[in-house]
A and B are shown apart, each in its own frame.
Chain A
């Protein structure tokens, strides 16, 4: 199995209301030591043959992330 994992995150300067909502809920769990929560997406691309990082980068750039508000990282995941 050839899997490329793409992580998409809102850029730091873009407000993340979902993350804020979660951060605001943490004190109700008794958690006080977490100062910030940011929420992103993890996307798994399964390739038929060898994982193609260049192809995955093109997919991420054109569709999976919006470069105006998001950044992404990608990596090949070990088949284990």
Chain B
């Protein structure tokens, strides 16, 4: 299986061979991942070299950043992200994240980051019982992360959200800390069009759509930037900013104003 994955990866990245300036960004495939292909494509369109990582392979293959994609890793058995946390690749990622490796967890990836204690809190079932799938307006509130440096503070962006268990919960003290330390990366907002059934698609506390760790290298986001990278298929190309953002961060790491060196 692993060998097969490697083979498919090398053909996918063939068009960037020989270009030494491209930064390698890994995307992990877990059993049950759905959006790994889209994330790999987003990395490529942003100008990076996509590298497909396999959940059972602890080797990060020299990548300089990692995306944990959306989907239903291990069938969402037990809890979302609970079993993926113990995979071989996650051991390496947790260690590398502690040393500053940029990690972006999208949807199920966000759930995995919380289960792995790289981010505080948890994602619970949507408060209104429904799976929610729509184009969602977000307000970017932290641009001092490895992934969001290309946005401006307060910028409103439109990217798809699709989840059944995207309700961000944490205790009040943690929520207060996240707000005080500027670690809420994005919130759900009404945007210019508004929503008949409310701007918050899943009941997340304090409208939280994305958070970061203290150092700013680890970001978890519930909506899907990798689905908003091309005009043909997305509601916008706002999502591309996360992928071009990390590439810019890797090229100019000093631009990221990490507040502390410690991790969450």
Specify whether A and B are partners: yes
Q: Is the CB of B122 within 8 A of A17?
A: no
**Interface contact A14-B129, CB-CB below 8 Å:** no
Say yes or no: B125 contacts A63, CB within 8 Å: no
How many residues in B have their beta carbons less than 8 Å from beta carbons of A?
20
Q: Which chain B positions have C-beta within 8 A of A21?
A: 129
Residue of A nearest to B117 (CB): A68
The answer to the question of A15 belonging to the interface, with a C-beta cut-off of 8 Å to chain B, is yes
Q: Is A17's CB under 8 angstroms from B114's CB?
A: no
Taking a contact as CB atoms closer than 8 A, the residue among A10, A15, A64, A69 that contacts B127 in the complex is A15
Q: Using an 8 Å CB-CB cutoff, how does the interface string of B108-124 with A read, 1 for contact, 0 for none? A: 00000011000011101
A19 to chain B, nearest CB (A): 10
Assess whether A18 is interfacial by the CB under 8 Å rule. Answer: yes
Q: Is the CB of B169 within 8 A of A69?
A: yes
B128 contacts the other chain (Cβ, under 8 Å)? yes
Question: Interface residues of B: mostly helix, strand, loop or mixed?
Answer: loop
- Bound: A51/B202 CA distance, A: 41
In the complex, the answer to whether B169 meets A20 with C-beta atoms within 8 Å is no
In the assembled complex, the CB of B56 is this many whole angstroms from the nearest CB of chain A, namely 18
Chain A residues within an 8 Å CB radius of B114: 68
Chain B residue contacts of A17, Cβ below 8 A: 125-129
Whether A63 contacts B78 in the complex (CB less than 8 A), given A17-B127, A69-B122, comes out as yes
Q: How far is the CA of A59 from the CA of B126 in the complex (A)?
A: 27
- Do residues A15 and B78 form an inter-chain contact, with CB atoms below 8 A? no
Contact at A63–B124, with CB atoms within 8 Å? Answer: no
Q: Which residues of A contact B195 (CB under 8 A)?
A: none
List the A residue with the shortest CB-CB distance to B83: A63
Q: In the complex, which residue of chain B has the Cβ closest to the Cβ of A69?
A: B122
A10 to B78, CA, bound (A): 13
The distance in angstroms between the C-alpha atoms of A32 and B263, with both chains bound, is 50
Write the A16-47 contact mask toward B (1 if CB under 8 angstroms, else 0).
11101100000000000000000000000000
